[in-house]
Chain A
Amino acid sequence: MALVPLAGVLLFYLIIPLFNLILKSFLKEGQLVFTLEYYVSVFTKKYYIGAIINSVLIAIISATIGMFIALFAANAANHATAKSKNKFLSILNMTSNFSGIPLAFAYIILLGNTGILVVLGKKLGIEALAHFNVYTITGLIITYVYFQIPLATLLLIPTFEGLRKEWREASQILKASSFQYWIHIGIPILLPSIFSTLSVLFANALAAYATAYALLANNVSLLPIRISEMFVGDVYQRPGLGSALSVIMMLLMVIAVYINQYLLKKVRGGGAR
């Protein structure tokens, strides 16, 4: 009996809505007729396919850059003294809260049309800074990288803690260089958590809404923004199309998880040989 309330909420606010959304993407509006027209128009119209490509690209690039920086940061934190590691951890915790609209705003005052760095670039004659435009895909990627770094570092630090000092010492005794140590020992051990962190970062960037909404409104077409427009747009609403886009977004996340698991298996299989 005590399970009923939770089951009810799960049913009415998670399971039925999701089924309804999937169903809507295959049904003609207001009718019980099966159709693939929404998917056809998603994949044939540049407007929608462009949003998907943009979102996937931004997610992959920002996740990769974020991961690259986080690897160095987590490694550094692992070698640091307990005191500075704690300081670093609290900075990570604090800045991982700084996302969405506040983040977009901070990047506008930093890199917007009259942003501090842009003005500085003009004064010092640094062309790349002076003509930087934050309201573009590049600007968006730079902003997304910001929220990927604390998340990735926080997820990676425990794995780095698992790298035992003895392994490093043993490899040094056997005259392995630092590079060889990382290629043959460090990275293979880290690889599983690198993959799973990457898929978290990918999903995180793919679904990021507030940052993009506040930063570019309509300059760059993005999947989450397009989806929400289909349902809450002022001009006209197209729930069928929006549902199809949502299903595609869910599929993209499932694909990311699947690729992650496939790679994990490969890595584990390779490790056994």
Chain B
Amino acid sequence: MKKVNFSKWMMWVTALYLILPLVLTFLYSFSSEWINVLPTGFTFKYYMQILPRQDFYMSLARTLLICVLTIVLAGILMLLAMYVVTVYHPKFDKYLQILCMIPYALQGIIIAISILTLYSGAKGLFGSRIIMLVGTYCIIILPYMYQGIRNALRAVSARELIEAAQILGCTRFYAFFRIIVPNILSGIIISSMLSMGIIFGDFVVVNVIAGSSYQTASMFLYKTMAQSGQATSVVIVVMFIITLILSTIAFKLRNKTH
């Protein structure tokens, strides 16, 4: 009996420890001044300062643009590859898996650095910072896109479905893109949301590759940090809410599909 109490206690202490910095940041964004143990007063001043700023929205929009471009691109590439692997060459899956898992092991900093060294001096398409960013993010989210889409394909028994469709006179291409893809749509959306969360919270890739030349939301956050503590916490709260919405959608969808 004592044992159970101890472990229950352990769980809530951990939970409290994890939540404390979040709550603190949240409270900080509403505090007028906090140089003592407790803040002296509460205010919406810093929200009024940050929320109407156009460059804040522009930075959010830039992040969103990169997210959408990357996820659409990675999604299309992955689906096309999965089409070949599922329909024609199931034994390629092994190699595809190894290749798609490399970025997971390498971590962002190495991938960003290696792409930067190769293309930073290049002219034209490859040298464009936006293309470099999209390419880098594409590689970084590949493991998540791969896992998500492959699991979804397995869950709907894609190969059997395609065979059945073929017997009924469909082409394999039609069967994959008109029957299988709509059926695994929630799987694709889950991986996309996960990837979006990753790109949204990223700082290392954008700082290494674009620096201040392409100000995303996390670059805006970093800049604000040098100016005002409360304003920084406002930006963190807004960004965290967006991340939370994304992960909640993914979580809800996952529960629905199971």
Contact = CB atoms under 8 A, between A and B. Distances in A.
Say whether A associates with B.
yes
B156 interface: no
B203 A100 contact: yes
B34 A116 contact: yes
B114 A21 contact: yes
Interface of B: 3-4, 7-11, 14-15, 17-22, 24-25, 28, 34-37, 73, 76-78, 80-81, 83-85, 92, 99, 102-103, 105-111, 113-120, 126, 135-136, 138-139, 197, 201, 203-204, 207-208, 211, 218, 221-222, 225, 229, 232-233, 236, 239-240, 243-244, 247, 251
A97 B18 CA distance: 11
Interface residues of A, number: 76
Nearest to A103: B21
A185 interface: no
Interface in A83-115: 84, 87-88, 90-95, 97-103, 105-107, 109-110, 114
Contacts of A7: 81
A76 B114 contact: no
A3 B139 CA distance: 16
Interface of A: 2-3, 5-7, 9-10, 12-14, 16-18, 20-21, 24, 69, 72-73, 75-77, 79-80, 84, 87-88, 90-95, 97-103, 105-107, 109-110, 114, 116, 119-120, 123, 146, 149-150, 153, 178, 203-204, 206-207, 209-210, 213-214, 224, 227-228, 231-232, 239, 242-243, 246, 249-250, 253, 257
A257 B208 CA distance: 26
A214 B222 contact: yes
Contacts of B7: 72, 75-76, 79-80
B222 A101 contact: yes
Contacts of A210: 203-204, 207, 218
Contact of B114 (A84, A228, A246): A246
11 contacts: A3-B80, A17-B115, A77-B11, A91-B18, A107-B21, A109-B25, A109-B28, A110-B21, A207-B110, A228-B109, A232-B211
Contacts of A105: 25, 225, 229, 232-233, 236
Contact of B139 (A14, A20, A69, A101): A14
Nearest to A199: B105
Interface of A is mostly: helix
B72 to A, nearest CB: 12
Contacts of B243: 97
Interface of B is mostly: helix
B107 A231 contact: no
B244 A109 contact: no
A109 B39 CA distance: 12
A90 B248 CA distance: 10
Contact of A9 (B22, B92, B138): B138
B240 A102 contact: yes
B37 A110 contact: no
A213 B207 contact: yes
A97 B240 contact: yes
